Amino acid sequence: AKETFDHIKENEDQVKAFITLNEDEALKRATEIDAQGIAADQLMAGVPLAVKDNILTKGLTTTAASKMLENFNPVYDATVVEKLNNAGYINVGKTNLDEFAMGSSTENSAFFTTHNPWDLTRVPGGSSGGSAAAVAAGDVLGALGTDTGGSIRMPASFNGVVGMKPTYGRVSRWGIIAFGSSFDQVGWLTQNVKDNALLTALISGNDEHDMTSSLKEVPDWAAQLNENTTVKGLRIAVPKEYFDGLAEDVHDVIKAALAHLESLGAIVDEVSLPHTKYGVPAYYILASSEASSNLQRYDGIRYGFRADDVKNLEDVYVRSRSEGFGEEVKRRIMLGTFSLSAGFYDAYFNKAAKVRRLIAQDFEEVFKDHDVIVGATGATTAFKIGAEIDDPKKMYMNDVLTVPVNMAGLPAMSVPAGFSAKNGMPVGLQIIGKAFDEQTIYNTGYVFE
Ligand code: GLN
């Protein structure tokens, strides 16, 4: 365990993946585990893993990368963390993110930007950029992320790691700092597909604390990943819209990946998901609306940050929120509150909700006669730090290939498919499955290892 931290600290000078390192506690746990021996049911005994800093960890500061929660110390563990504790894992620390998971580059963190370990001048993607960078840098075997509109898959693609967003309802959201509650899902960023399957099964399942968590049984996905795993006869749909605006270097890698699948016996078909282009505008209205409601609780009284020298109660609210939230979070609160307001509800929120339904129907149509949908995860490789941060609309467009999945509540994974011929950066292939069919996604991704 000591070596793990030496390695992490060496990387951290440059990568800055962690907001909080849990060194003392982690070394204590490691010593305990050494002394006690490993119980048969402790699947992750002594395994160093990391947790995104919008997931509650009892007694360990959880900031959501916001000044608002800079000194927030949770009094309970998220359900996913509780399950990891029971499995004997070692939490090495809390990873950096865009404030409240709002962003696509980790540049919206209130504290610092994480750097992509493949090229330190580039972003790690977001919002789970710290988790992706920690895995890519070899700090940990896996790191927990959250995905509301692509925040696991996109950083996975930018960092050459595996990132799975499970089906909505597969994993409990209890103890996750809420962003867009009807979209949020927890999942893993890992070095390979099999670890991902194993770890995802570990955190999945019904939870009495989360009414939206599914009662469906959790299969042993990893057990089916072996030398017999095949994509022979698999019906793969490739949406033509997923090639619109794709950078040439990404395009080449995706084409090669599709050829690889075909050479292994998969049947690759071109299909259409006609409402894809409405995904980003509708998502930003809906997710921001939910966020504006979820973030009401940060009032300067109950949690964390409170402004100094306030005159009265109104002043506490206004100044604490004005000073405690960053620019992007405030932009979302304004957009969400506006979309939900009496005069504009029908024109914006309601319209966007209809688009959501149409997008879900697009998927249903294609899944009638296909097993998985495959395309790029991001339209580009990791961009340079600073390149897009001043242009929110440009930043939002990075999510065009990932948000439809969250709108429909489907599972999807990004697997490393190759490298850009232009800049040598990793390129991720996105594999989208039917609801609760994570198995077929894992099987498909497994052939790229
Ligand atoms: N980039 C998207 C956003 O900013 C998605 C974020 C996420 O999945 N948490 O909303």
pLDDT band, residue 39 (cuts 50/70/90): confident
In terms of residue numbers, what domain contains 212? 2-224
> Does any domain span residue 356?
no
Question: Using a 6 Å cutoff on CB, does residue 402 contact ligand 1?
Answer: no
Is 61 within the bounds of a domain? yes
Pocket flag, ligand 1, residue 335 (CB < 6 Å): no
The H or E element that residue 372 is part of is: strand 372-376
Is residue 14 situated within a structural domain?
A: yes
Phi, psi of 94 (to 5 degrees): -105, 130
Q: Does residue 239 form part of some domain? A: no
Given a contact cutoff of 8 angstroms between Cβ atoms, the answer to whether 421 and 252 are in contact is yes
Q: How far is CA 77 from CA 55, 56, 69, 82, 245, in A?
A: 8, 5, 16, 6, 42
- Out of 41-55, 204-218, 251-265, which region has the weakest mean confidence (pLDDT)? 41-55
What is the pLDDT at residue 41?
77
Amino acid at 167: T
Calculate how far, in angstroms, residue 224's C-alpha sits from the geometric centre of ligand 1.
31
Q: Report the b/e string of 204-237 with b at 16+ CB within 10 A.
A: bbbbeebeebbeeebbebbeebeeebebeebebb
- What's 57's domain CATH number? 3.90.1300.10
Residue 30 within any structural domain of the chain: yes
Give the chain's mean pLDDT: 96
**What integer is the mean pLDDT of 117-136?**
98
Q: Number of structural domains, the chain?
A: 1
Q: Is a pLDDT exceeding 80 seen at residue 1?
A: no
135 in a structural domain: yes
pLDDT at 441 > cutoff 90: yes
- Chain centroid to Cα 83, Å, comes to 19
Return d(Cα 382, Cα 154) in angstroms, integer.
Answer: 9
What stretches of 264-420 show up as alpha helix (H) in DSSP? 279-294, 313-324, 327-340, 351-367, 392-397, 403-408
The confidence score (pLDDT) of residue 34 equals: 87
* Residue 125 forms part of a structural domain: yes
Average pLDDT value for residue range 220-248: 97
Task: Count the Cβ atoms, other than its own, within 10 Å of residue 357.
Answer: 13
- CA 183 to ligand 1: nearest atom: 8
Give the Cα separation of 264 and 62 in Å (integer): 45
What is the per-residue pLDDT across 305-316, written as a single tens digit (0 to 9) for each? 999 999 999 999
| Inside any domain, residue 138 | yes
What pLDDT score was predicted for residue 254? 98
Q: With a 6 A CB cut-off, is 101 part of the ligand 1 pocket? A: yes
CA dist list (Å): 173 to 255, 269, 288: 36, 35, 18
Cα 304-305-309 angle, rounded to 5 deg: 140
Once rounded to an integer, what is the mean pLDDT over residues 251-279?
A: 98
User: How close is the Cα of 2 to the center of ligand 1, in Å?
Assistant: 34
pLDDT surpasses 90 at 80: yes
Q: Which of 16, 52, 165, 194 is catalytic?
A: 52
ipTM over 0.85: yes
Contact partners, residue 143, CB within 8 Å, separation at least 6: 49, 50, 51, 52, 95, 128, 130, 131, 132, 134, 135, 188, 189, 190
388 Cβ inside 6 Å of ligand 1: no
172-211 pLDDT per residue, tens = 999 999 999 999 999 999 999 999 999 999 999 999 999 9
